[in-house]
Each structure stands twice: as C-alpha cells, then as structure tokens.
Amino acid sequence: MGVGIEVTTLNAWYGTNHTLQDINLHIPANHATALIGPSGCGKSTFVRCINRMHETNPIARVTGSVRIGDLDIYADAKPVEIRRRVGMVFQRPNPFPTMSIYDNVAAGLKLNGYNNRRELDEIVEKSLKNSALWDEVKDDLKKKSGASLSGGQQQRLCIARALAVDPEVLLMDEPASALDPVSTSKIEDLIFQLKSQYTIVIVTHNMQQAARVAEKTGFFLNGRMVEFDSTHKIFTNPSDKRTEDYITGRFG
C-alpha cells in the first residue's frame, strides 16, 4: 500500500538556477496526483526530489524537507534506501537492452540480492500482469531482450520493473509523452488501475491526461507551485488567474 507525501518549503537549484522555490504540498496516499505546467517550470525537478534523483547531478542542490510516510527522506535516510521504496518511470522508456524481458523486471530485486527462483518467477509474472504486458510477452520472457519491444511496450516494461520492487510511491515523469495515442491510453488505463495500491505522482504536459487519471492536480509555473487542488476544481474553477490562463491554452 502507498503512503502519503508531505513536502515542506522545498527549494532546489541547478547550479545558480533556482528551479524550485518554497514548495509546500501534501500528496495523498493511494491516489494519483498530476503535476502540470509549461516546460521548465520545475515539475520534473520536483518529482526528482521525491526520490533524491535530483542530487545525482553534481551541480544540483536541495533544501527543505520531504516526508514519505513518517520518513524524512533528506534527514533520516540515504538515497539508496529511498529509491528502493519509491519507483520511478521516466519520460523515455529505458529498459536494459542487454537483458531479457524477465531480467528487466527482476533487475531491482536481483540488484538487492533477491535470488529465490520460484518467488522471482511469481513476482515477474505479477508485475507484468499489473502493467498489462503479460499477455503480449509471456511466450518469450527469457528469449527476447527488453529493447526488442515497441515503445509503448517498453514503457509498460519499465512500469513493471518499477512495480516489481513493491514501491510505496510511484513517480512518473511524463510517462506517455514519447508514445503514440494507443500506447498512451494503455498507460493511462494502467495508472487508473494502479492508483488504488500505490501513491502515484505523474508529471504531464497533456492536460486531458491529468484530468483523466488524477484526483489531485498541481499547477507549476516558473519554479513555484501556483495552485494545488482537486483536479475537478483546477479544470473547472481555478482560483488563480495564471492557472486559468494555462488550462485555457492562453500560454504554455
């Protein structure tokens, strides 16, 4: 089951570029939360702060606190521990090309020394079923490489890989922006099914996507969070003029 995320005065920098400014936010457990905003507004940086991927860039810096459940991830834990609890799906599908489909899904577990053959088989099957890929790949799990799949299948494989380690939170950074409409709708269906079991944070450029999958939506602009509310309110009756301008297509 997922846990909630409490973000308090989060600030982030790339070099001298202040990309996130004083973000305060509560992301509810077991729901999907969408983050929208124009390019460069800091929404990707924000999700990368939740699993401490932001700091893998040597010029990046973060202050403030992020609590996942009751764990303060910047004060009480090492990045490696956080990333084992928080799964991430990236903008471009990035399966491991040298591994079979099976090994791709099992990668996170094998990495952590989980070697029980029979249980691995079960987890791989369950994760692939959860990511709606099982029926398409079950016959060549160990024969085909992760890179031999189509773009949409690769992205679902990446979701399966993230789910296999049973994360509490699933971060998705524009998971469908590199995919065609059919694959996109499959990914959206998937998010819809998964959000009862995981806390999902999805960054998207596509406002319809946010409206379709998320209960909560946050609007980011120039490194600040302008508005955070229920998706319905954001799209029908936003309280900030800038939010309204953005969702009506006046800019961005």
| Helix (H), strand (E) at residue 8 | strand 5-14
- Write the CA distances from 224 to 11, 100, 155, integer angstroms: 10, 41, 29
Which residue from 232, 226, 223 is spatially nearest to 245, judged by alpha carbons?
226
Exposure b/e, 128-140, CB count within 10 A at least 16 = b: bebbbbbebbeee
Closer CB to other proteins, 10 or 106, in the complex:
106
Closest separation between CB of residue 150 and other proteins, Å?
17
**Structure tokens, 130:** 């959860």
The residue length of the chain stands at 252
Which residue from 84, 81, 123 is spatially nearest to 105, judged by alpha carbons?
123
Closest separation between CB of residue 72 and other proteins, Å?
18
Closest separation between CB of residue 161 and other proteins, Å?
7
Contact assessment for residue 85 and residue 167, using Cβ atoms and an 8 Å cutoff: yes
Closer CB to other proteins, 74 or 235, in the complex:
235
Closer CB to other proteins, 112 or 230, in the complex:
112
**Structure tokens, 28:** 């509810």
Closest separation between CB of residue 224 and other proteins, Å?
22
Closer CB to other proteins, 90 or 192, in the complex:
90
Closest separation between CB of residue 24 and other proteins, Å?
25
Contacts to other proteins by CB under 8 A: 51, 53, 56-58, 80-85, 87-88, 90, 92, 94-99, 107-108, 111-112, 158, 161-162, 165, 207-208, 211, 235, 247-250
Closer CB to other proteins, 161 or 242, in the complex:
161
Query: How would you class 217 by CB atoms within 10 Å of its CB: exposed for 0-12, middle for 13-18, buried for 19 or more?
Result: buried
